[in-house]
Structure 1
């Protein structure tokens, strides 16, 4: 199978990453909020940290593939696809005037190397790079040369969000932010046209759907159970639409979806920022959500295309135990200390990437949580993330599993 992920913990065999690129250089203080960043990472150190992350994965037997390489291969394999891709990318980049569409297309199309082209679409394009020598419009006259005509895509190194691997299929997401929704163009082309994925991946959700959903909210509990966060970025309507597709119009083996209703907060933007599985019977969790979390069980109804939805009035441990058929332990971020937990959760102390049962990758900076995880018998692989974390994402956020053992 091109995609095969039925759990969060068994041996990770293949993963998708994106190495941070020059898109980070086009972040400015004035665009941080629009581009969903809290600070500007130092690119060279961010790349060193990310390269080390990839090295740790490879040293543990994981095949690492890169988004930029898969998209380059897609264009190389399909020479006639380039023009279609560029026109779509420019339109979705918010370029509506004929003058700028033409100038931008000519500029991008003049880049002959497909890898260089893909990286440039990710980096963004400013006004001085394209041929608009004739100042014949009000926009031309009032715009500085540094104006970004095509905005950068600095969130791309969080490959968890544009799509999610579920069983042998993919949930291709409609993203919360207009800026990030362009990221899903790459996955859409890869799954439709790349020779390794074309006609081999079932699409469980599409990027033109009306409601937003992001990959950080989707956790594969097991082959038949999916957990999805109702969060700042994933709407309840999207979960209902996805459930109907999975239950009634797909080959998926998922029979139950657990919807976790999270407080809407920048700190809790996705389910995996507060809750991840790290072993057969262990989960990390931010204690700040325990008093407010509501869980809903979604299953097929008796009537076609309808859902049965029940709120689970029980502890989270008991709910998880029912579906995992074993006792579970919730390990509190920061040991449950309110100040430590808030600080380390903000720096993705709960956002772990499990690469085999009990073996997890974490940021080294979350010292209290990491020591607790070690004391529980887990093998903790620590990586530096001082610059990477400025985008508000950890090892799980930066990785999209394409293949895991069952």
Structure 2
């Protein structure tokens, strides 16, 4: 565990020295991606699993070599289920969210999962999903079990799980268990629920948002600017109403007194705020220049039992400098501002940097122009190959859920 401050979760910035992080090593769920159903599972292409795992291992090694304790999502869930003896409860809740109708197939899958002696292997199987060819039911006992179709899965895989940033988000000493944009990803938040309800190290963590909320929010849209201010994207994946709900839940019970809501385009290439905007040092940010022209920023602050909304009419640099209480900030533009290079490198997550200490970041090596600009700005850059991982449209920040940073 990280240094003891009495709190399992301690995230009051984007840049404090990272001590502990949750990741998920890509597994067999990627091998259940098929071309006809990529859209359904939010993928554009099919990564080669063996290469993706090597790339992810390289990412984890950079973290460990820089003093970061790497926690694996699949191990944390296993430890939570075993510690609280809630394996059967988990299976039943997982099944209830698969969309399967109760019947012979439903019961066959339930029994298969409960027959696993190794809880870790069972957890991996819930992530992998079930194809029609691997479940045999001798006698159909319901109409639902009798229906056949072309779709090859009984239970969809969860190939997006290696983007651990999104299903839940650590904020201060608490966590937001998110309601996701797409049904295929909303099941991922069940793992976060069990970690923060039952894991011996995390079960007492305060929760600021519930996965059964009516409106969507995802962790890639939540940036921790300081101990007072959050930045949250209004995006394809995060609803403005969710930001108000989260703000009401944290104001008055935490050190946070302002949320800056960034309204960005609602499309796949600008999926989350952190795909176009990340903090890399005390006074430096990466940004995709394409969002600057139409960007609206709103200040959300406490107003009695509710919140007050005011548009911030100023340059982005001035808005950020004011929020951070510093004289000025520097925006490092993806691709150097060149429209072709910027578009290409943003698509390959050139703006999705993971900061592991002030002025120290981890990035994909493929974004050569942006990485050179980061170095020229005095940033220490650790690169790794992301040729397969990037096919899921996410970078190093997307693949990491910090749970402990040193305060700055």
Aligning the two structures, in what range does the TM-score lie when normalised by the shorter sequence? over 0.9
Q: Matched residues in 1 for 2:150 and 2:266: separation?
A: 38
1:334 paired residue number: 335
How big is the shift at 1:133? 2.2
1:63 pairs with one of 69, 74, 80: 69
Distance 1:228 1:24 in 2: 29
Q: Does 1:105 align with 2:110?
A: yes
Query: Residue 183 of structure 2 is aligned with which of 175, 178, 183?
Result: 178
User: Deviation digits for residues 254-309 of structure 1, max 9, x if unmatched?
Assistant: 000000000111000000000000000100000000001100001011x3x21111
Structure 1 CA distance for aligned equivalents of residues 103 and 90 of structure 2: 17
Distance in 1, matches of 2:147 and 2:191, equals 33
Deviations 1:209-239 (A, max 9, x none): 1110000000000001000000000000000
The reply on whether 1:124 has 2:129 as its aligned counterpart is yes
Structure 1 residue 4 displacement after superposition: 0.4
Task: Report the CA distance between 1:107 and its aligned residue.
Answer: 1.2
Residue equivalent to 1:35: 41
**Superposition deviation, residue 56 in structure 1:** 0.3
Tell me the residue number matched to 2:15.
9
1:386 maps to which residue? 387
Structure 2 CA distance for aligned equivalents of residues 405 and 15 of structure 1 = 12
Number of residues of Structure 1 aligned to a counterpart in Structure 2: 400
Please report the RMSD computed on the Cα atoms of aligned residues, expressed in angstroms. 1.3
3-state SS of the aligned residue for 2:349?
coil
Deviations 1:374-401 (A, max 9, x none): 1111111011000000000000000000
Partners of 1:404 and 1:285 in 2: CA distance: 23
Matches within 5 A, 1:108-257: 108-135=113-140, 143=148, 147-199=152-204, 201-248=205-252, 251-257=253-259
* TM-aligned CA deviation for residue 142 of structure 1: 5.3
Deviation at 1:128, TM superposition (A): 2.5
Tell me, yes or no, if structure 1 residue 260 matches structure 2 residue 259: no
Q: Assess if the C-alpha contact under 8 Å between 1:169 and 1:252 holds in 2.
A: no
The C-alpha deviation readout for 1:143-189, integer Å capped at 9, x for no partner, is 37982111100000000001111000001100001010000001101
Maintained 8 Å contact 1:175/1:213:
yes
TM-score (norm 1): 0.96
1:275 counterpart residue number: 277
Query: Bigger CA drift: 102-111 or 56-65?
Result: 102-111
Q: Displacement, 1:320?
A: 0.4
| Cα contact 1:128–1:145 (8 A) shared by 2 | no
- For 1:286, the equivalent position in structure 2 comes to 288
Q: Are the aligned partners of 2:284 and 2:332 in contact in 1 as well (CA < 8 Å)?
A: yes
In structure 1, what is the equivalent of residue 29 of structure 2? Answer: 23
Deviates more, 1:136-145 or 1:388-397: 136-145
1:126/1:145 contact within 8 Å kept = no
Query: What is the CA–CA distance in structure 2 between the aligned matches of 1:26 and 1:227, rounded to whole Å?
Result: 35
Secondary structure at 2:402 match in 1: strand
What corresponds to 2:3 in structure 1?
A: none
Over residues 127-150 of structure 1, what are the superposed CA-to-partner deviations in whole Å (9 max), with x where a residue is unaligned?
222231225666555537982111
> How far does residue 76 in structure 1 lie from its aligned partner after superposition?
1.6
Change (3 A) 1:317 1:148: same
Q: Work out whether 1:50 is the aligned partner of 2:52.
A: no
Q: Would you say the 8 A contact 2:104–2:145 is kept in 1?
A: no
Match of 2:300 in 1: 298
Question: CA–CA distance in 1 between the matches of 2:182 and 2:21?
Answer: 24
Question: Which residue of structure 1 lines up, in the alignment, with residue 4 of structure 2?
Answer: none
CA contact (8 A) 2:236 2:266 kept: yes
- Quote the Cα distance in structure 1 between the aligned partners of 2:137 and 2:131: 11
Counterparts of 1:283 and 1:210 in 2: how far apart (Å)? 32
CA distance in 1, matches of 2:144, 2:310: 54
Distance in 2 of aligned mates of 1:131 and 1:49: 36
Query: Take 1:144 and 1:96, find their aligned partners in 2: how far apart are those partners?
Result: 15
Q: Tell me what 2:372 maps to.
A: 371
